[in-house]
Amino acid sequence: MGSTVAAALLLFLAAVPAVLAVTFQVGDIARWSIGVNYTTWVSRKTFRVGDTLEFKYGPSHSVSVVDKAGYDRCDGSGATQSFSDGDSKINLTTVGTMHFLCPTPGHCLGGMKLAVPVLASASSPIAPSPSPSAGNAKSAASAKGIMSYGKIGVTMVLMYGLMR
């Protein structure tokens, strides 16, 4: 019995990181191609450190990691990383905005540009915590609950004493 509980606990602990880290297929079923609004695609999602972007695309496309200036100008000449294997997985390792574009001439202007805001990982200690006042209100409420249980307990003991 004890070992079953321990095994279940281990399984749970092992499963947690897999649940927290997400792989996003860029563009979903539209993949990485011309004519997709990646600003809209990004706006519907939350990206965190530890997540992965997966770009899937045909042979006419590539993926370049650029800075904001390159993204704004559709200029891939300053790319820090480039991929053209058709299925590129890029880990989001730092907080901030990552910029991508397709360096094939005309494709970035055709919409193949992506700016992904990366937030701190959900398990990170720098993640926002509830405000102190909310925490106090919550503990006050639970203290009140404990007090009323205490009153019921005392009342029952007194009644038991009277009945004897």
Amino acid at 32: W
How far apart are CB 61 and Cu ion at their closest, in Å? 3
Q: Are 38 and 49 in contact (CB under 8 A)?
A: no
Under the criterion CB under 5 A, does residue 102 sit at the interface with Cu ion? yes
Distance of closest approach, residue 30 Cβ to Cu ion, in angstroms: 13
Q: Is 107 in the site for Cu ion (CB under 5 A)?
A: yes
Query: Among the residues of 58-111, which ranges form H helices?
Result: 68-73
12 SS3 class: helix
CA distance 145 to 139: 10
Closer to Cu ion at the Cβ: 58 or 128? 58
Site map 43..82 versus Cu ion, x via CB under 5 A: ------------------x---------------------
Binding segment for Cu ion among 46-54, 71-79, 111-119, 156-164 (CB under 5 A)?
A: 111-119
* Beta strand residue intervals within the chain, DSSP E: 23-25, 47-48, 52-56, 63-66, 81-83, 87-91, 96-101, 113-119
* Residue 84 sits in the site that holds Cu ion (CB under 5 A): no
Q: Do 62 and 102 contact (CB within 8 A), yes or no?
A: yes
* 114 in contact with Cu ion (CB under 5 A): no
**Smallest separation (angstroms) from Cu ion to the CB of 112:** 5
Distance (Å, whole) CA 55 – CA 87: 6
Q: Is 113 a residue that touches Cu ion (CB under 5 A)? A: no
Nearest approach in angstroms of CB 105 to Cu ion is 9
Site residue total, Cu ion (CB under 5 A): 5
Residues near Cu ion, by CB under 5 A: 61, 102, 104, 107, 112
